Amino acid sequence: MNRNVAVKFHKVGKVYERPWFGRRLTALHEVTFSIDAGEVFGLIGPNRAGKTTLAKCLLSICRPTSGEITRLGRPWAVRSTLTEVGYVHENPAFPRYLNARQLVEGYGRLSGIKGTKLRDRAGQLLEQVGLADRTHESIASFSKGMLQRLALAQALVNDPRLLVLDEPSEGMDLSARQLLDRVILERRRQGHTVILISHALDDIERLCDRVAVLKGGRAVFVGAVAELAASAATQNETPALQSALEPLYEEALA
């Protein structure tokens, strides 16, 4: 059976040179796995496991030291495919002098969308994320939750084939989290790919088809969420996925 692969990592390494400390920091070490088109894929692990670094390499924000990355069928360095990618940063930082519509339309123009199509698309998205009544307000007045909603709107403006979400529910209230769930599941229904980076294990277990667990810059598990959860002892009331990952997180904090 042929697989339509949206993202592929092959022996990806990333080393940060820190000459002022007299040492090198290895953030990723020979990470290898692939993500299918139409899949919701979770990326989890403790802090400093390499999750965000891997995402930044995928998005051409930083350069891998070694290995190969393929994004939507092309090498990571081919930036033309970025017009088909949406990204929600864990701490979105937008120009505070813009209003919500200006921001979303600005990102749309970067993706090659223009004119009436862009204006209509921006209006639809701002309504979808619950910001229709704040369209012309300065971003400087937005709360953390409102910024997260706005980040989701800008990430969707180009109807991306690949959507990368880095801790997207941080600061969201219940209605916004429910909106996020609907967006993720609708992307999958349409055959698009979603990468969800999150510490919210209930989100991972509820939404993702497969998951990669990173530890110390290495992919220590890649497979179905159910398979990972089944590996946990279920003798207590701890959710299965959380139980499976507790030793990993405890070791990182030790």
Tens of pLDDT, residues 50-99: 999 999 999 999 999 999 999 999 999 998 999 999 999 988 889 999 99
> What local confidence, expressed as pLDDT, does residue 240 receive?
57
Task: Specify the pTM.
Answer: 0.89
> What local confidence, expressed as pLDDT, does residue 201 receive?
87
Tell me yes or no: is domain 5-253 CATH 3.40.50.10420.
no
> What local confidence, expressed as pLDDT, does residue 235 receive?
42
> What local confidence, expressed as pLDDT, does residue 233 receive?
44
Q: Distance between alpha carbon 236 and the CA centroid of its chain, in Å?
A: 31
Residue 175 backbone dihedrals phi, psi, to 5 degrees: -65, -35
Question: What is the C-alpha R_g of the chain?
Answer: 19
Taking only the tens place, the pLDDT of each residue in 43-58 is 999 888 999 999 999 9
